[in-house]
Amino acid sequence: MNTQPKLHKALNYFIALVWLVNGLLCKVLNLVPRHQQIVARILGHEHANLFTKLIGLSEILMAVWIISAIKPKLNTLTQMLIIAVMNTIEFILARDLLLWGWANSIFAAMFIGFIYYNQFVLGQKITR
């Protein structure tokens, strides 16, 4: 029995859960105020609450897109780009507000690699 399709699907759900938790709990419900502080630092204090919630809603939509399995390669590339750009901006403009400071970049790179592996390595093995 080939367990790769099940593992690939389980990892998709895990990745979607990461986006959902960060979007809903950390940003929309503001259970981690540091996220709004980072947004305020980057985009300004005046509309930080609104922008944080919009970013959170976008992350929730990313989770839905992942689960939908619509255009998974485009989805994967989009995730990787968003994570890289977001973390680069945060590293430059708000490093002192990041949970692990400069080490956030390491975790971001690992998550990008994990997403890549799930789609372009593990996912490709399933479609062959």
Distance CA 117, CA 115 (A): 6
Phi and psi torsions of 38, nearest 5°: -65, -45
Name, in order, each residue with C-beta under 8 angstroms of 9's C-beta and a sequence gap of 6 or more.
none
What's the pTM? 0.92
Distance CA 74, CA 59 (A): 16
Predicted local confidence at residue 126, as pLDDT = 65
Predicted local confidence at residue 4, as pLDDT = 81
Once rounded to an integer, what is the mean pLDDT over residues 51-69? 98
Report how many domains make up the chain: 1
Distance CA 128, CA 99 (A): 40
117 token code pair = 């592996």
Give the residue numbers spanning the domain of 46. 4-123
Percent of the chain at pLDDT exceeding 70: 96
Asked if the model's pLDDT at residue 128 lies above 60, the reply is: no
pLDDT band at 124 (very low <50, low <70, confident <90, very high): confident
Q: Is residue 128 domain-resident? A: no
Asked if the model's pLDDT at residue 2 lies above 70, the reply is: no
Nearest 5 degrees, angle CA 89-CA 94-CA 97?
A: 135
Q: Which of 5-9, 19-23, 89-93 has the lowest mean pLDDT?
A: 5-9
Predicted local confidence at residue 121, as pLDDT = 95
